[in-house]
A and B are shown apart, each in its own frame.
Chain A
């Protein structure tokens, strides 16, 4: 079943929380409690993931509902708080919400978070990924906003692309607005899992600045948990290089000079070719990815 009702899980959890009397991970850093129970900020309206267009290969997010977040007026309070709801029965993050104010922003550098293994986690590297590692431990509410670091309710397995291109720009926008104006921004992040998948398909980000009623910051977007050039199995988080995409990037007309002795790939104008023994020299139009499969590696000088 592809249809997923967003926020249904957190809503159910909230009801359970009310029934059993134990809440999510609520952090009240101010002198007073917020005006409303933050868990009530989950709305009951739904978004259909089938209506979200497929990733177009270039744009890291799409706008939802005309960029209007699904907050109620009474959720917009002028006291800072953060609330991280419980993991679901599969150990997956649900919804996190914060009223971000300058008073809860971090004053120290971020610490190590390597001990947290969110669902779908794999330590895997690809040459075509910025920083090489496919997955980052993605803070749902960015560290720069609330200083929340090692909290498994706030960390999902996210691609480098999601982290840096999809989420960080929105976090930057909130952080700099709050620092500049000393106003508050209500910010909710909801990871979207299809069925029992361990890896989120994407993340919904909603924000509205409080004191100016959204004049400064307002958005409602869905950021894709994808990595261009890498195929991902969202059930498990396993992945593989998208050979088709990578091969398309390569120009099949590119000519390489191989050193069959050192097993190096050179460009024809590389100085290493001039000093290469004729018996080890071989010219080819094969794709670089194919040559690498055959055991060749690229020359460090000409970097083909």
Chain B
């Protein structure tokens, strides 16, 4: 599976059961990335993409249901049991520091993968967002 995450400077994704940040430009970028592929995610994350694409596969257990080449948008779920299934990791960095109590296990997720691209772009509410792709 291919996982997509958004993190702050400390790898933080969530605080008090809420995402630490969001940006329309990233959401649109992820939709463009999908092309005809589906995006697997849970109900909480689905709200970000509501009315923007029909390619959503919503399930609380989406990481178990995604196939080898499917994209998974991960915000508030533990990926530990699925590390061996990950073939690509796409990370969006907010380049900001937020409070967080749930972090992305980057080291484990990209273990055995190589960083194949790094790019930067401006967001709607973030001055500079960095995209890293590991394969």
Contacts and interface: CB of A to CB of B under 8 A. Distances in A.
Contacts of A236: none
Nearest to B124: A180
The size bracket of the interface on A is 10 to 19
Contacts of A63: 16
Given A170-B99, A172-B97, A217-B18, 6 more contacts: A168-B97, A172-B96, A176-B23, A176-B125, A179-B124, A180-B125
27 contacts: A67-B16, A168-B97, A169-B97, A169-B98, A170-B99, A172-B97, A172-B98, A173-B15, A173-B20, A173-B21, A176-B21, A176-B94, A176-B96, A176-B125, A176-B126, A177-B21, A177-B125, A180-B21, A180-B22, A180-B24, A180-B124, A215-B18, A216-B18, A217-B18, A218-B18, A219-B15, A219-B99
A221 interface: yes
Interface of A: 61, 63, 67, 168-170, 172-173, 176-177, 179-180, 215-219, 221
A180 B125 CA distance: 5
A218 B16 contact: yes
Contact of A180 (B18, B23, B98): B23
Interface string B25-43: 0000000000000000000
A170 B125 CA distance: 16
Contacts, number: 43
Specify which of B8, B18, B97, B126 lies most central, judged by the most chain A CB atoms within 10 Å of its CB.
Answer: B18
Interface residues of B, number: 17
A267 B124 CA distance: 49
Specify which of A67, A168, A170, A176 lies most central, judged by the most chain B CB atoms within 10 Å of its CB.
Answer: A176
A170 B15 CA distance: 10
Nearest to A165: B97
Given A67-B16, A176-B125, A215-B18, A221 B24 contact: no
Contact of B99 (A215, A216, A221): A221
Contacts of B22: 180
Pairs A-B, 8 closest by C-beta atoms? A179-B125, A180-B125, A67-B16, A169-B99, A169-B97, A173-B98, A176-B125, A169-B98
A173 B16 contact: no
Interface SS of chain A: helix
A137 B111 CA distance: 43
Given A179-B125, A180-B23, A219 B96 contact: no
Specify which of B18, B21, B99 lies most central, judged by the most chain A CB atoms within 10 Å of its CB.
Answer: B99
Contacts of A177: 21, 125
A67 B20 CA distance: 14
A179 B125 CA distance: 5
Contacts of A218: 16, 18
A215 B126 CA distance: 20
Interface in B52-95: 94
Contacts of A168: 97
Nearest to A68: B16
Contacts of A61: 99
A130 B18 CA distance: 30
B96 to A, nearest CB: 5
B80 to A, nearest CB: 23
Contacts of B99: 61, 169-170, 173, 219, 221
Contacts of A216: 18
Contacts of A180: 21-24, 124-125
A217 B21 CA distance: 9
Nearest to A215: B18
A275 to B, nearest CB: 42
Interface in B87-119: 94, 96-99
B82 to A, nearest CB: 27
A226 B76 CA distance: 31
B34 to A, nearest CB: 22
Nearest to A170: B99
Contacts of B94: 176
